[in-house]
A and B are shown apart, each in its own frame.
Chain A
Amino acid sequence: MNVSDLTLIELRQRLATTGLCFGCGLFRIRLHTPVASIATLLHDLYAHYPVYSEQGIDDYRIKLDWTSWSRRWIRPIVRFTADSPAPFTDIPIARALPTLEWGTNWCIATRAHHLLMLHAAVVERHGRGLILPALPGYGKSTLCAALTHSHWRLFSDEFGLVNPEDSMLIPIPRLISLKNQSIDVIRAFAPSAHLGPSFHGTHKGTVAHVRPPFNSIARMNEPAKPYWIIFPRWQANAPLTLEPIPKDRAFMLLATNAFNYEVLGELAFGAVSTIVKNCDSYSLVYSDLQQAVRTIDELVCSAHD
């Protein structure tokens, strides 16, 4: 059963009582919230996630609750917690969903240390994984959303999860978070993309979320071997360039990009070494999204043929 198989009333009841237990990639998440407006958004944006039984061990227990009884009615304010207090300020109800998404990311980033976590988008095609590591603001999520709506399978727009034992990429198809101009760019690029509402005035500006395609969630337990690493960078008006990166430099860039390289130590060294050994690495500078997607497709198709 998926979230979309629940009626909105059933979903609200679960969220307000036992919590909604759902799966996202390897993780089992239990979400509690009495906030009815969040339930409406989740019914739409979480529609494809599988609903799990209330029995079982949760990886993350997260909660979005009113800060107090009175603040439910007067200028409503909510608070994100995860088993214990989380480092997020209380926020107006109108910005609850972005905080829920960032909060869940925070849970994964601070606790999933059995996996190597790259700060990267990851997509897959023909069984081959493409890693897109980048700093915030470099167009990683935008490119990921565009590829996800161009025959690629979404693994993540934020976490490149790697099993350090075999260096396989692990899907975690969470909502793709788009910011500011990227929202209209993706609306124009992929009219079929399912976007939620825009949230204005967050600390990252205006944010909107793309629902992962059904196929990406249905296949979220299928890992993939990494074949390419492309370090993307969006630059206004820049001509497209795609340049190979030598393996020593790729290693340095990827190791310093990981959230928890130091935590995993030798395992991380081995995993990054294996990925770099098996992958062709490139830097991509682009301003035209269509052209960037076409260039990546050509690169991948030439390797596939």
Chain B
Amino acid sequence: MQIWHLHSEQPLRWEHWRDQSALYQIASGETHFLNPLGVAILMQLEFNSADLNQLCNHIAMEFDCLIDDDLRSQIATSLTRFDELGLIRCQYDAELAT
């Protein structure tokens, strides 16, 4: 199973507005603009590493919605994008065990 972590141990800096947030990643020096779903995913990973199921549970609670294929797909797409941007990385259970 894939476990998602923040890419860097350095803290993220946030600025929140009504519909959008900005995130400064100290390790890369890059600023990213995020919608509320992206914010919720990254803030949860900032708090604790998680797999897709755990993230789906968290997001469903946060946004008061049901876990369905659409939600899973949106979260999975966001994770892939954050991985591409160097914000997060994944490890497999087996790697963690060693």
Contacts and interface: CB of A to CB of B under 8 A. Distances in A.
B30 to A, nearest CB: 8
A251 B15 contact: yes
A266 B24 contact: yes
B20 A248 contact: yes
A273 B15 contact: yes
Given A252-B33, A255-B31, A269 B20 contact: no
A213 B62 CA distance: 57
Contacts of A246: 17-19
B60 interface: no
A269 B17 contact: no
A262 interface: yes
Nearest to B10: A266
A265 interface: yes
A185 B24 CA distance: 43
Chain A interface size range: 10 to 19
B20 A266 contact: no
A242 B41 CA distance: 37
Given A246-B18, A248-B20, A251-B22, A269 B33 contact: no
Interface in A237-270: 246-248, 251-252, 255, 261-262, 265-266, 269-270
B22 to A, nearest CB: 6
Given A265-B29, A266-B24, A248 B19 contact: yes
A270 B13 CA distance: 9
Contacts of A273: 15, 22
Nearest to B23: A269
Interface in B1-50: 13, 15, 17-22, 24, 26, 29, 31, 33
Nearest to B14: A273
Contacts of A252: 22, 33
B13 A269 contact: yes
B11 to A, nearest CB: 10
Contacts of A251: 15, 17, 22
A265 B27 CA distance: 10
A248 B13 contact: no
A266 B8 CA distance: 15
A269 B24 contact: yes
A251 B15 CA distance: 10
Contacts of B17: 246-248, 251
Q: Which 8 A-B pairs have the closest CB atoms?
A: A269-B24, A248-B20, A248-B17, A265-B29, A273-B15, A247-B17, A266-B26, A251-B22
Interface of B: 13, 15, 17-22, 24, 26, 29, 31, 33
